[in-house]
A and B are shown apart, each in its own frame.
Chain A
């Protein structure tokens, strides 16, 4: 069986950034496994710009952003395979992958989980109605239009105000389709404010909050959707139904970290983030298996994906040098106003970066970190929205090594 120091599962923004950082730190025995024919992951189909402001200080398209890392991978000569799908990872870090060349089995010292996320579907949210053709998740529509040159429809309605949905509203408009409206079940948008501005407002596409699709009509191709207003409990309000004739429904109703392989390896998942439970080193509950990027938590900016993966790489370097990393004993606990926080485990003895999202929009609030009732840090948030991940660097010198860390939102 092939032996490799670090196997990276997925050659998207997280995997590429991890590989480059590992190489820079002197690790040479790396292997990136990518199921697509090209490196770059989902960025390949994100032909709009807006990537890279934080990481590179300039705005790039998705393929350009990925290209920055791919160029480095090629220049450095970092080993990678494409057209190969990982089908299993064991708890002792044996990776099994399938390709036209056969089954590749690799014993890795460390595994980096960088598989990204998938889209939530119609079935997962249980939209009633018929099931005609013409219903696409935003990412699938984006793939058809941007990678395969195939137009999915002419008269569209979009459910969900996720970023990809709004970007597809603009994209379809630019390609001559008519986008009637975007409907969001929550009382606030789930995507970034800049996308509401640049993808909807600039094109006169209305966004209706607290609305959802309650029926789908059409036996063969989509003919209409029925949209209803919802109350505070997200239940449709009778009598508010309005029918929109359309041939296309685009769903942008959430992303889910893709952790089937992590589960195969016995990695513990967090029911809130849907990603692995990790410590401040990005190490999962299984020693030597690390996770970063959208497989760990869904990010709103790819720049943060890359940076999280670079931080993962730093820990993997230490893991390779030291043979193991100490178990982190302190839990990171969150209150009801926080959707999730990463990492979930800390040692209290190291600097780390805390990522979190608030459950609902808040103004003039504080993110408070405390241990055993003592406030360690308070970050003032004039405005915090669920769409924007909040990152807070925490210094070890402020922490004790005895008490769990409590994260709360106060105002």
Chain B
């Protein structure tokens, strides 16, 4: 295999953003990902919030990147066709202590450069959203909601169309320093590279060590979520957060999703397990109790799914203090960039961080602009978002648009086919799901999953036992019931 100019380890939102930003230049870039798709870790396991940046300590990378990422996102969403809405946010309070904290973080936000924050009374809060709990609130107009999986996919697809190569099912097991550059070893092959960039998310400490940096102390703060039916979504137009605690952390909140559902969560508790994504009865029960305080329509009949995500944070073992994002490039390990402890607000910060990575590379060597770079990426056009006349035209042009495969989310065969033949070559069932929303509705694939797996087999010419749900060993079928006669 010929060498790469840059190998990026990890295809989460940060790795994908770095890939996309590097694809502006004439460099050969590979992204190595242990899973079968992008955004399989915490890039896809969060609230989908475009944070404004009022809880982060002034001067930190978190604060700087969040404000920068927030304020540029309309343009980014437009270029990459990422579903996004600047909803604003209400941070609600119930008592004097809450009010104190809200005022404190309003001042922090203003220092960070967050625009337009103001305190509102109950009357105005109810006018903004009658489903919101709370006696008063801080209104933050710049917060927004987006689909974090679609965003990561969009960044990666844009990088891919500009020449970046993605290698899935490629867990990095070692990085060897060569006379010039590095040899990145995966379970499946070796990747010689002049530059190595650590975007490994939760596994960043291990990669950090492989690159010769310290294995920084980190720990996980897990949070669980309920996904509520779009019927509940009709009641919520704006994210409702409780006043932050004294450390700037939020407990359970209610957030509308860009597609019209509601997320209730996350709560927060420490976990040791790096991929401990299991939901627990104790915490789900807690979400029900706490969720009702934020969202008056929190009801069991609206539950369609639950999930968990982990904010894997860097901390000081002596003081227990949670530390800022780490972005470093040590001269003793030339041509490496090390990103550790990138967690919330990682979605908001991904592109600003990526630009800082590119800047480091550009300081060391001359980067020639890629004359073919196209910042725009086309998403899959959604049937459900078309008006009747648009539907008629779309079907006339491509009859697959008329065939509804997912009944809950009204996803057409045309969209499923585009997702199966996605630019990154991802072929899992969850890959199709995250690209189209098929199976994400209230019946959770009860109707369409059988159709989607069949389409995967037909389109790729593979037998049933090769269909994967989301992971390499996540087979859907053990084979045929009977051999064909």
Residues A220 and B474 in contact in the complex (CB < 8 Å), given A103-B392, A122-B444: yes
Type the 1/0 row for A265-299, where 1 means its CB is closer than 8 Å to any CB of B. Answer: 00000000000000000000000000000000000
- Measured CA separation A100–B469 after assembly (Å): 28
CB of A131 within 8 A of CB of B307, answer yes
A126 interface residue (CB < 8 Å to B): yes
Selected A-B contacts with CB under 8 Å, 20 pairs: A98-B402, A99-B403, A100-B403, A105-B388, A119-B443, A122-B305, A123-B227, A123-B444, A129-B278, A131-B277, A133-B469, A133-B474, A137-B446, A140-B450, A150-B464, A150-B476, A150-B481, A217-B278, A221-B475, A260-B408
Q: Which of A151-159, A183-191, A304-312, A383-391 contacts B (4 or more CB under 8 A)?
A: A151-159
- Measured CA separation A343–B93 after assembly (Å): 46
CB of B481 within 8 A of CB of A85, answer no
- Residues from chain B with a CB closer than 8 A to the CB of A102 are 392, 395-396, 402
CB distance from A90 to the nearest CB of B (A): 12
CB distance from B481 to the nearest CB of A (A): 5
- Residues from chain A with a CB closer than 8 A to the CB of B403 are 83, 85, 98-100
Type the 1/0 row for A135-174, where 1 means its CB is closer than 8 Å to any CB of B. Answer: 0010110011101111111100000000000000000000
- Measured CA separation A47–B226 after assembly (Å): 36
A202 interface residue (CB < 8 Å to B): no
Residues A128 and B446 in contact in the complex (CB < 8 Å), given A102-B402, A103-B392: no
Interface size on A, residues (CB 8 A): 52
B391 interface residue (CB < 8 Å to A): yes
CB of A148 within 8 A of CB of B450, answer yes
B318 interface residue (CB < 8 Å to A): no
CB of B443 within 8 A of CB of A85, answer no
Type the 1/0 row for A115-132, where 1 means its CB is closer than 8 Å to any CB of B. Answer: 000110111111011111
Residues A123 and B305 in contact in the complex (CB < 8 Å), given A100-B395, A144-B450, A151-B477: yes
Interface size on B, residues (CB 8 A): 57
For the complex with contacts A98-B383, A126-B284, A134-B469, 18 further pairs of A-B residues with Cβ separation under 8 Å are A35-B404, A87-B410, A98-B391, A102-B395, A103-B395, A121-B304, A124-B444, A126-B226, A129-B278, A133-B476, A149-B480, A150-B481, A153-B478, A175-B481, A214-B281, A216-B278, A217-B278, A220-B472
Type the 1/0 row for B253-294, where 1 means its CB is closer than 8 Å to any CB of A. Answer: 000000000000000000000010111110010000000000
CB distance from A118 to the nearest CB of B (A): 5
A215 interface residue (CB < 8 Å to B): yes
- Residues from chain A with a CB closer than 8 A to the CB of B280 are 128
A62 interface residue (CB < 8 Å to B): no
CB of A96 within 8 A of CB of B454, answer no
Residues A133 and B227 in contact in the complex (CB < 8 Å), given A119-B446, A121-B304, A128-B284: no
A236 interface residue (CB < 8 Å to B): yes
CB of A152 within 8 A of CB of B303, answer no
CB of A98 within 8 A of CB of B481, answer no
CB of A130 within 8 A of CB of B278, answer yes
Q: Which residue of A lies closest to B429 (CB)?
A: A133
CB of B281 within 8 A of CB of A236, answer yes
Q: Interface majority SS on A: helix, strand, loop or mixed?
A: mixed
- Residues from chain A with a CB closer than 8 A to the CB of B444 are 121-124
- Measured CA separation A123–B304 after assembly (Å): 5
Residues A124 and B278 in contact in the complex (CB < 8 Å), given A35-B404, A83-B403, A133-B474: no
A58 interface residue (CB < 8 Å to B): no
- Residues from chain B with a CB closer than 8 A to the CB of A132 are 469, 471, 474
B79 interface residue (CB < 8 Å to A): no
8 A-B pairs with the lowest CB-CB distances in the bound complex, closest first: A133-B469, A123-B305, A220-B471, A133-B474, A220-B473, A85-B404, A100-B399, A121-B444
- Measured CA separation A85–B304 after assembly (Å): 23
CB of A152 within 8 A of CB of B476, answer yes
Type the 1/0 row for B395-435, where 1 means its CB is closer than 8 Å to any CB of A. Answer: 11001101110011010100000000000000000000000
CB distance from B478 to the nearest CB of A (A): 5
Type the 1/0 row for B79-102, where 1 means its CB is closer than 8 Å to any CB of A. Answer: 000000000000000000000000
B169 interface residue (CB < 8 Å to A): no
Q: Indicate the member of A122, A126, A144, A148 with the most B CB atoms within 10 Å.
A: A126
- Residues from chain A with a CB closer than 8 A to the CB of B279 are 126, 128-129
Q: Indicate the member of B279, B300, B445 with the most A CB atoms within 10 Å.
A: B279
A322 interface residue (CB < 8 Å to B): no
CB of B476 within 8 A of CB of A123, answer no
Residues A145 and B305 in contact in the complex (CB < 8 Å), given A137-B446, A139-B446: no
A410 interface residue (CB < 8 Å to B): no
- Option from A35, A130, A133, A145 in Cβ contact (under 8 Å) with B407: A35
- Residues from chain A with a CB closer than 8 A to the CB of B468 are 133
- Residues from chain B with a CB closer than 8 A to the CB of A74 are none
- Measured CA separation A102–B398 after assembly (Å): 10
B26 interface residue (CB < 8 Å to A): no
- Measured CA separation A149–B278 after assembly (Å): 32
CB distance from B40 to the nearest CB of A (A): 11
B338 interface residue (CB < 8 Å to A): no
A329 interface residue (CB < 8 Å to B): no
- Residues from chain A with a CB closer than 8 A to the CB of B480 are 149-151
- Residues from chain B with a CB closer than 8 A to the CB of A35 are 404, 407
CB of A126 within 8 A of CB of B306, answer yes
- Measured CA separation A145–B478 after assembly (Å): 11
- Residues from chain A with a CB closer than 8 A to the CB of B454 are 148
CB of B281 within 8 A of CB of A133, answer no
CB distance from A196 to the nearest CB of B (A): 24
A219 interface residue (CB < 8 Å to B): yes
CB of B404 within 8 A of CB of A98, answer yes
A101 interface residue (CB < 8 Å to B): yes
- Residues from chain A with a CB closer than 8 A to the CB of B227 are 123
- Measured CA separation A119–B407 after assembly (Å): 14
- Measured CA separation A134–B468 after assembly (Å): 11
CB of A221 within 8 A of CB of B402, answer no
- Measured CA separation A119–B304 after assembly (Å): 12
CB distance from B303 to the nearest CB of A (A): 5
CB of B303 within 8 A of CB of A126, answer yes
CB of A152 within 8 A of CB of B477, answer yes
CB distance from B133 to the nearest CB of A (A): 22
- Measured CA separation A150–B305 after assembly (Å): 26
- Option from B303, B399, B476, B482 in Cβ contact (under 8 Å) with A124: B303
Residues A140 and B404 in contact in the complex (CB < 8 Å), given A123-B304, A131-B307: no
